[in-house]
C-alpha cells in the first residue's frame, strides 16, 4: 500500500493548495541546490587548472578535465595516516560509549541504584553548562594525567557525554522490564543482562550514536589540534586545517581535490545509515 500524504489528489486540485504546494517544492529545490552546489563546485574546481580557478568570470564546469589533480592531492599529505587516527578516535569513543555510558544508563534505568533520580538530574543539569567553560579544566586534567598526544585524550572524555547518556537511558526505559526480570529468575547477573539482552536490543540507538560520534570525530579540528601535539597524531580535520586551509604555497586545484576527497566518506555514511539518522530525530526528545 502506497503512503498517503496530508493532501489527497482532489485537495491538490484546489488553486490555493496548488500555490502552497508549488511554494513548498520551490523551497525544497532551493535548499537542495544550496546544499549540493558547494560539493559540486569543489569537485569541478579540483578538475580545473589553477589558472582557470582564478580566472574571471568564473566557470562552473572546467574547459579541460585535469584528472591528474587527484593523485597530486592524495600524495600532498599523508591522508591514510590522518584517516587512521580519525578512525581510531571514532572506534575508541564508540566502545567507551557502549561500555561506560551504556552501563551507567542501564544502572539508572533498570537497576535503580541508590539516589538514581538525583544522579539523573545532576547529569541532566550538565547539559546547560557551556562546553567552552570546561575545555581548559579538561585540558589541564589530561596534562596532569600524562594523556596529551594520546588517543585517551578523546576516549576518556567520551565517557562523560551527558547527551549520549540521556539518549541511551531513554531507550532503555522503553524496553519491557519483564525481559530483565525473566533473566534474573533464570540466574543471569546484571552485567550478563546488559551484555546479552540490553545491547542486542539497543542496536538502533547505538547505531545512531555511532553516526553522531563519527560526525564529531570527522569534523572536529579544534580539540584535536589542542591535545595532539605531533603530526603523526593529527586527525584528518586538523591536518586539513593546518596543511590545506592555511597553506599559502598550495595551488588551488590541489586544495580543492583534497577537500573533495574529504567530503566523500561522510556522504556515503549518511546514505548507508540514513534510516538511523531519521530515527535519531525521535530519540532526541529527552524524557524526564
Taking alpha carbons only, the member of 166, 155, 170 closest to residue 96 is 155
Exposed/middle/buried for residue 235 (C-beta within 10 Å: 0-12, 13-18, 19+): buried
List per-residue pLDDT tens for the chain, 288 residues long.
Answer: 455 556 666 766 777 777 888 888 999 999 999 988 989 989 998 888 888 887 778 788 888 888 888 888 888 888 899 999 999 999 999 999 999 999 988 888 888 778 888 888 888 888 888 877 888 888 999 999 999 999 999 999 898 888 899 889 888 888 888 888 888 888 888 888 888 888 888 888 888 888 889 988 998 888 898 899 888 899 999 999 888 888 778 888 888 899 999 988 888 887 777 776 665 555 544 444
Residue identified by cell 591528474 is 68
Q: What is the pLDDT of residue 197?
A: 86
Grid cell for residue 3: 503512503
The whole-angstrom separation of Cα 83 and Cα 79 is 6
Model pLDDT for residues 68-97, shown as the tens digit of each residue: 888 888 888 888 999 999 999 999 999 999
pLDDT of residue 34: 93
Predicted pLDDT at 6: 64
Q: Greatest CA separation found in the chain?
A: 76
Quick check: 5 and 219 in contact, CB under 8 A? no
How many whole angstroms separate alpha carbon 100 and alpha carbon 238? 27
Phi, psi torsion values for 205, nearest 5 degrees: -70, -35
Q: Which set of grid coordinates corresponds to residue 163?
A: 547527551
Query: Rounded to whole angstroms, how far apart are CA atoms 190 and 106?
Result: 9
- Distance CA(171)–CA(200), nearest Å, equals 12
- At 261-279, the pLDDT tens digits run 998 888 888 777 777 666 5
- Residue 257 class from Cβ within 10 Å (0-12 exposed, 13-18 middle, 19+ buried)? buried
Torsion of CA 96, 99, 105, 111, to 10 degrees: -160
Residue 256: which residues within 8 A CB-CB, separation 6 or more?
A: 42, 43, 45, 46, 48, 53, 69
Report the alpha-carbon distance of residue 225 to residue 247 in Å, rounded: 16
Query: What residue ranges define each of the domains in the chain, with the CATH number in brackets?
Result: 11-69 (no CATH), 77-246 (1.10.3720.10)
C-alpha cell belonging to residue 247: 597553506
Compute the distance between CA of residue 257 and CA of residue 255 in angstroms, rounded to an integer.
6
**pTM to 2 decimal places:** 0.80
Amino acid at each position: 500500500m502506497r503512503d498517503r500524504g496530508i493532501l489527497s489528489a482532489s485537495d491538490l486540485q484546489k488553486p490555493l493548495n496548488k500555490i502552497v504546494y508549488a511554494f513548498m517544492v520551490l523551497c525544497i529545490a532551493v535548499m537542495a541546490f544550496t546544499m549540493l552546489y558547494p560539493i559540486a563546485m569543489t569537485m569541478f574546481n579540483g578538475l580545473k587548472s589553477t589558472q582557470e580557478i582564478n580566472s574571471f568570470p568564473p566557470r562552473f564546469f572546467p574547459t579541460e578535465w585535469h584528472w591528474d589533480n587527484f593523485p597530486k592531492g592524495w600524495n600532498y599529505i599523508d591522508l591514510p595516516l590522518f584517516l587512521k587516527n580519525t578512525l581510531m578516535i571514532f572506534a575508541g569513543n564508540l566502545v567507551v560509549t557502549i561500555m561506560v555510558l551504556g552501563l551507567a544508563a542501564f544502572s539508572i534505568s533498570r537497576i535503580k541504584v541508590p539516589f538514581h533520580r538525583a544522579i539523573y538530574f545532576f547529569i541532566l543539569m550538565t547539559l546547560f553548562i557551556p562546553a567552552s567553560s570546561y575545555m581548559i579544566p579538561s585540558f589541564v586534567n589530561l596534562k596532569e594525567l600524562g594523556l596529551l598526544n594520546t588517543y585517551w585524550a578523546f576516549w576518556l572524555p567520551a565517557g562523560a557525554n551527558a547527551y549520549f547518556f540521556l539518549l541511551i537511558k531513554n531507550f532503555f526505559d522503553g524496553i519491557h522490564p519483564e525481559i530483565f526480570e525473566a533473566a534474573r529468575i533464570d540466574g543471569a547477573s546484571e552485567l550478563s543482562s546488559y551484555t546479552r539482552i540490553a545491547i542486542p536490543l539497543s542496536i538502533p540507538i547505538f547505531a545512531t550514536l555511532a553516526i553522531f560520534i563519527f560526525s564529531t570525530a570527522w569534523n572536529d579540528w579544534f580539540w584535536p589540534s589542542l591535545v595532539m601535539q605531533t603530526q603523526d597524531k593529527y586527525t584528518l580535520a586538523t591536518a586539513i586545517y593546518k596543511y590545506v586551509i592555511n597553506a599559502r604555497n598550495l595551488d588551488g586545484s590541489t586544495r580543492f581535490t583534497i577537500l573533495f576527497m574529504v567530503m566523500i566518506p561522510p556522504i556515503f555514511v549518511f546514505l548507508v545509515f540514513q534510516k538511523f539518522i531519521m530515527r535519531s530525530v525521535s530519540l532526541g526528545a529527552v524524557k524526564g
